[in-house]
Amino acid sequence: MRVKETFAKSVIHYHDHAYSTNWDINLYRGCEHKCIYCFAQYSHKYLESDQFFDDIIVKTNVAEALNTDFSKRNWEPRAINLCGVTDPYQPLEKKYELMPKIIETFIRHKNPMIITTKSTLLMRDLDLLEELNKSAFVEIRVSASVINENIRNKIEPLAAPTIERLEMLSEITKRGIDTGVLMMPIIPYLTDNIANLSNIFQISKENGANFIIPAIMHLRGETKKNFYNHIDKLFPNLRSKIEPLYRGAYVDKKYLKNFSEKISLLRNKYNFYNKIKKREHPKKEIEQLNLL
């Protein structure tokens, strides 16, 4: 793996395809977790390298650049997702320790934060996240799609075991921080069986998750080619079943309808309805002063 350090002028990124926020920060470019279905590989084609998993770019000054972004007069505190196209707690974060400084910057500016991760390294920063949650909300989203460790190890080789990701939610919940599970991407004929889905619902419930958002895998652009290359090596009999479901980037509609019915049954069984809260964003202190 090659690591390149870089300086960023501005780090808050706007996009128009939000789950719950239109704002992202990516402290790394590229991701060591090496998920075989990774949707984010396109983001490297704009850089000098197309080796998304092997050329990692580290924005070493991200906290300072963020402080500059937050200090601009037109910035209003609003939820920002870390990260959009990489995992903020990928293994390199152990060495670079960018997240503690970033969270401290969020605390200083009382800005809400959403974190999406497949790592348990986040627990290192739990005290800081608890502090931020007192002045601006924090939401932790764990990505978890397969319980079986043999399969997990093949499809997400450098991510944490799924069970550890889900169990960490209980510690986070005890600190008063909201948590959720992104049960995605579910891979047809590999992780879509009812036992796997049911286990994720049950363990998420036991560990205090507020919501589960399931989604079937998409295969856009380069992702499709890379995914099938891995599948041919790892699960040689699977491609002939999956391929007919993906004429384009999205799964077959009839398959999707059956999957949605399975999910409805599980929501009823585990009494697990999505509770993504509507949030009040903190007001900028300078504005409050102006009102007096």
* Residue ranges binding ligand SF4 (CB under 6 A): 31, 33-35, 38, 40, 86-87, 118
Shortest separation between residue 74's beta carbon and ligand SF4, angstroms: 30
Q: Which is nearer to ligand SF4, 33 or 152 (CB)?
A: 33
Shortest separation between residue 13's beta carbon and ligand SF4, angstroms: 15
Q: How many residues does the chain have?
A: 292
> Where on the phi/psi map is residue 195: left (φ > 0), alpha (ψ -120 to 50), or beta?
alpha
CA distance linking residue 37 with residue 40, whole number of Å: 9
Shortest separation between residue 30's beta carbon and ligand SF4, angstroms: 8
Q: Which is nearer to ligand SF4, 86 or 196 (CB)?
A: 86
The number of beta carbons lying within 10 Å of the beta carbon of residue 150 is: 7
Phi and psi torsions of 37, nearest 5°: -105, 10
Q: Which is nearer to ligand SF4, 31 or 231 (CB)?
A: 31
Shortest separation between residue 20's beta carbon and ligand SF4, angstroms: 18
Q: Which is nearer to ligand SF4, 87 or 178 (CB)?
A: 87
Q: Which is nearer to ligand SF4, 34 or 239 (CB)?
A: 34
Strand order in the sheet with 28-29: 2-6, 55-59, 28-29
DSSP string for 36-85:
TT-GGGGGGTTSS---TTTEEEEETTHHHHHHHHHHSTTPPP--EEE-SS
Shortest separation between residue 37's beta carbon and ligand SF4, angstroms: 7
